[in-house]
Amino acid sequence: MPGPSPEWDEALELAYKLCPFIRFGHYVANESMLEVLAGESSAHVVDLGMSLGLPMGHQWRDLIQRLVDRPGPPMRRIRLTGVGPRAERLESIGDGLVDFARGLGLELEFRAITTSLEDLRPEDVGAEKGEALVVNSVLELHHVVKESRGALNSVLRTVHGLAPRVLVLVEQDVNHNGPFFMGRFMEALHYYSAVFDALDMALPRYDTRRAKMEQFYFAEEIRNIVSCEGPARVERHERADQWRRRMSRAGFQPSPVKMGAQAKGWLGREGEGAHGFTVVEDKGCLTLGWKSKPIVTASCWKC
C-alpha cells in the first residue's frame, strides 16, 4: 500500500474530508454494525487495516457516539481491535478513542495487533464469550489479493473462524487486477478520470490541497496499479461480482444492504461537493458512483 509518509498521511486526510468515497464506506459500515449490535450490551469490533490509519479515528468516533445515543439498552462495554503494521499510529488512535468514549460515559478497551493480515490468527483477536463480534474492512482486503489467491483465502478463513455477526466489506468497484498492462491502464484511465471529474466539484484544479491529494494519494495508487508487478503490486482492486465469488468460496453468506434511501439522504446532507454522485442498490450491495460510474461498493457478509 502506498505510504506511509507525512505527505501521504496529509493527502489521505484531505481525501477523507473533501471526497465522499471513504466517508460513504464508513457510513454504510457503521449503519450495518449498529443494526446487528441493537440490544447488545457488550461488543467487539475488529478493524482490518484500522480505517487506513486516519489519525482521528473518524469512523469509530461516529460509531461510539451513535452507540451512546441509541434508544433502548445502553452499551456498557466495547472492545476495538485494530489490525495494521503501524504500531505507534494505532496506539495513538486508540488512546484518543478511549478518551473520547470515556467522556461519553462508555467503557472502551482498545488493542492493536501489529501484524500483517496474512499472519493474523483467530487467537490473536481474543474473542470473549458473551460479546457481539463484528468485523470491518474499508478499502483494505484488496491489498491481500495475490496471483496465487492463497493469501486472501487464508485471511477470509481466519475471519470466518471468528464467527462474526457481520463482516462489512467496502472496496473500490473496478478491475485493476488484470494480468496485462494495457488492460489495467485502460481500466485505471476510465476509473480515475471519473474520480478527478468528481474532484472538480470539490476543489478547483489550481488549489494546493487538490495538488497534494493528486500527487501523494491518487498518483501513488495509479502508479502501483499500472507500473508494478508481482508482490510490489498491492493495489489489486476488483469488481463487486468478483468479491461476491471470493466471499462465497470462503463460506460467507450475503447479508443484503438495504439502506439505499438512507444513503441517498446521507449523500444529500454532504452538500455541494456531493452533487453528481449516485447511490445504487444492486444484488444486495450498495454502490457510490459518479455519474453512473461505480466508484466504491459496500457489502455485508455473515457466516
Residue with cell 458512483: 289
pLDDT of residue 272: 62
With CA atoms as reference, report the closest residue to 98 among 64, 122, 131. Answer: 64
pLDDT of residue 149: 66
CA dihedral 177, 226, 13, 21 (to 10 degrees): -50
pLDDT of residue 203: 82
Grid coordinates representing 33 are 454494525
Is the four-CA dihedral 247, 253, 258, 259 of positive or negative sign? Answer: negative
Q: 250: which DSSP letter?
A: T
pLDDT tens-digit profile, the chain (303 residues) = 444 678 888 888 888 988 899 999 999 999 999 999 999 999 999 999 876 767 678 999 999 999 999 988 888 899 999 998 878 888 989 999 999 999 999 999 999 998 889 889 999 998 888 899 999 999 999 999 986 667 899 999 999 999 999 999 999 999 999 888 999 999 999 999 999 999 888 888 888 999 999 999 999 999 999 999 988 999 999 999 999 999 999 999 999 999 989 999 998 887 666 788 999 999 999 999 999 899 999 999 999
The Cα–Cα gap between 117 and 154 comes to 9
pLDDT of residue 4: 65
Residue with cell 444513503: 263
Task: Give the residues across from 171 on adjacent strands.
Answer: 297
